[in-house]
Amino acid sequence: MAIIVPLASAQTINVTVDGDVILFVGQPPVEQRGMVLVPLRGVFEKLGATVAYDGASRTIRAVKGTTEVTLRLGSTEAFVNGQRQTLALPAQTQQGTTLVPLRFVSEALGAQVSWRGVSRTVVIQTSGSASPVPLPTASPVEVSSLTHDAQRPLRGGERLAVTLLGTPGSTGTFSVSGIESARELPLREQSVGTYTGVFTVPLGVQVKNAPLFASLRRGGLASPLIQAAQPVTVDGIGPQLANLSPASDTTAAPSKLLIYATLADTGTGIDTSALHLLVNGKDVTGQATVTEAFFSYRPDTALPAGKTSVAVVARDLAGNETRREWSFQLSATAPTAPVPNPAAPLLKPTILTPAANTAVGDKVTITGKAAPDALVRYRLTFQGTFLILPTDGVVTDGEVRADKKGLWSIPEIRLQTPLGVSKLTYTLEATTVGVSDALSETASITFKK
């Protein structure tokens, strides 16, 4: 026998075993010629059967108690305890998943199978005894429609409204898979046969494409679980800002000042159009470079010496907002180091770490050596491929003063990978800056993440 399914098969086919919905990861159940085929292990292990596949002979073997069912991929011939039977459809493979005819194997293993046309649900019931209890041909409690109003990812504090149409006079519940606080929430009948429920998204929760299920109960009878056609995405965690530069409560030189921080979001991603940057209370967002991985701003005029305050507001695509404020000191513009002799040649700096042509982690600390008290100008860029096109950009740049021994270093830099860019390499360049902005030869190394 085959489960006959109406031809509106673009809609999800649900499968329950003793009232529990089966969640299929990857390949879902499919309909062919009005019959349902399901992934091999999803249902039959739920029925308590041991399932094995022999790749050499392309044979499937399911065993439960004293019952053994054997099928071969591509063959309409099957065996139940050695007795030959003919299948309307053969077992087959789709997208690397083995599919088997649902009704044949379920009934061969002692289960009863029925079809709920309204909710497009295959209902499997195990007998639990040698004498199976017949299922009713139709349930007096049915669900005809399940929808929700989430047309985009929901952030913390927003509400998800659920609407179910079904048998009047029932009580209902709905659940969002993957969210503990969204289990068995009530659906209340607002008008005849129309049930509604609401879930308020908590902070700190993230799920992507989560199934939404619901069912009705009345007088001890329950409808099959039905799954909404559209999944739900929840993003209750805002963006993260890190690697602030200049770091909070430090002193920086005003020359070639670069204000910079990395951005990250584990949910829906950074909304680059919604970032706002204020420096000393002035909105400089229009002059800043903003990507999904970082933002940077270089003032076009020198900022005054003393305290400089920075305020950033970043949002993700769900609308979660993160605010970050910090401050640092700008030193006076007058040079504190000895003025170099303009006639003396500028010594080329040396890059000590990282070593050339090596691989580093997500963060890198750069060190080098130059003449004592020398001003070293650095620039770190990335090169890679976006789809098939070459791309590049600046990670960070600036100036740093060597100490009395000629040692210089750049604070820890996070190597955030730009979205969609592959085959990444990084190039670090450093030069010594002299009088009238004269430059030494450039030291350069390339490394990988």
Secondary structure in 3-state letters for 267-288: CCCECHHHCEEEECCEECHHHC
Q: Quickly state the pLDDT bin for 30 (edges 50, 70, 90).
A: confident
Per the listing, tokens 């002299």 go with 434
Contact between 224 and 123 under an 8 Å Cβ cutoff? The reply is: yes
Residue 377 reports pLDDT greater than 80: yes
Residue 53 has pLDDT above 90, yes or no: no
Average pLDDT over residues 388-402: 77
The secondary structure element, H or E, covering residue 108 is helix 102-108
pLDDT band at 420 (very low <50, low <70, confident <90, very high): low
**209-234: average pLDDT:** 87
pLDDT score recorded for residue 24 = 74
What backbone torsions phi and psi does residue 274 show, to the nearest 5 degrees? -105, 0
In this model, does residue 82 exceed pLDDT 70? yes
pLDDT for 131 beyond 70: no
- Find residue 197's DSSP bridge partners: 162
**What pLDDT is attached to residue 419?**
61
Count Cβ atoms within 10 A of the Cβ of residue 268 and give its class: 0-12 exposed, 13-18 middle, 19 or more buried. buried
DSSP of 175-225: EETT-GGGSSEEEEEEETTEEEEEEEPPTT-EEEEE-EEEEEEETTEEPPP
Structure tokens at 295: 């933002």
**All residues at 6 or more sequence positions from 129 whose CB lies less than 8 Å from its CB, including other chains:** none
- Provide the pLDDT for residue 335: 46
pLDDT tens sequence across 400-414: 788 889 998 886 777
Query: Is the pLDDT reported for residue 399 higher than 80?
Result: no
Question: How far apart are the C-alpha atoms of 59 and 111, rounded to whole Å?
Answer: 22
Give the confidence band of 101 by pLDDT, cuts at 50, 70, 90: confident
Q: What is the pLDDT of residues 252-273, one digit of tens each?
A: 887 778 888 888 888 888 999 9
Name residue, tokens 């001003």. 375
**Neighbour count for residue 267 (Cβ, 10 Å):** 22
The rounded percent of the chain whose pLDDT value lies above 90 is: 25
Q: Given a cut of 60, is residue 65 above it in pLDDT?
A: yes
- CA 37, CA 30: separation in Å to the nearest integer? 5
Q: Which of residues 260 and 127 earns the better pLDDT score?
A: 260
Confidence band of 443 (pLDDT split at 50, 70, 90): very high
pLDDT confidence of residue 416: 67
- The type of residue at 144 is S
How far apart CA 103 and CA 88 sit, in angstroms, is 11
Closest Cα partner for 86 from 102, 64, 66, 71? 71
Which of helix, strand or coil describes residue 19?
A: coil
Q: How many residues does the chain have?
A: 449
Query: Can you tell me whether residue 43 is helix, strand or coil?
Result: helix
Q: 16-30, 234-248, 258-272, 275-289: which has the highest mean pLDDT?
A: 275-289
Q: What is the pTM of this model?
A: 0.45
Taking the C-alpha atoms of residue 43 and residue 17, their distance in angstroms, rounded to an integer, is: 8
- State the pLDDT confidence band at 418, using cuts at 50, 70 and 90: low
CA neighbor of 447 nearest in space, from 386, 388, 399, 380? 380
Cα distances from 297 to residues 220, 329, 342, in angstroms, run 66, 17, 32
Among 12-21, 24-33, 263-272, which is the least confidently predicted range? 24-33
Q: What is the pLDDT of residue 436?
A: 67
pLDDT(137) > 50: no
Rounded to the nearest 10°, the torsion over CA 269, 273, 274, 280 is 120
What residues contact residue 45 under an 8 Å CB cut-off, 6+ apart? 51
Q: Is 157's pLDDT higher than 80? A: yes
pLDDT-wise least confident of 5-14, 289-298, 324-333, 427-436: 5-14
Name the percent of the chain in helix, strand, coil, to the closest 5: 5, 50, 45
Identify residue 444 by its one-letter amino acid code: S
Distance (Å) of CA 328 to CA 276, 287, 322, 435: 19, 20, 20, 27
Using pLDDT thresholds of 50, 70 and 90, give the confidence band for residue 34.
low
Antiparallel, parallel or unpaired: β 321-330 and 251-252: parallel
Residue 10 has pLDDT above 50, yes or no: no
**Which token pair is 212?**
């939404």
* Position 433, amino acid: V
Give percent above pLDDT 70 in the chain. 88
Token reading at 373: 């008290």
Q: Nearest 5°: phi and psi at 273?
A: -80, -10
Q: Please name the amino acid found at residue 47.
A: L
Residue 121 predicted with pLDDT over 60: yes
Q: What is the pLDDT of residue 148?
A: 94
Q: How far apart are CA 96 and CA 341, in angstroms?
A: 73
pLDDT at residue 227, as a whole number: 86
Predicted local distance difference test score (pLDDT) of residue 135 = 36
Residue that is written with structure tokens 């401050």 in the block:
327
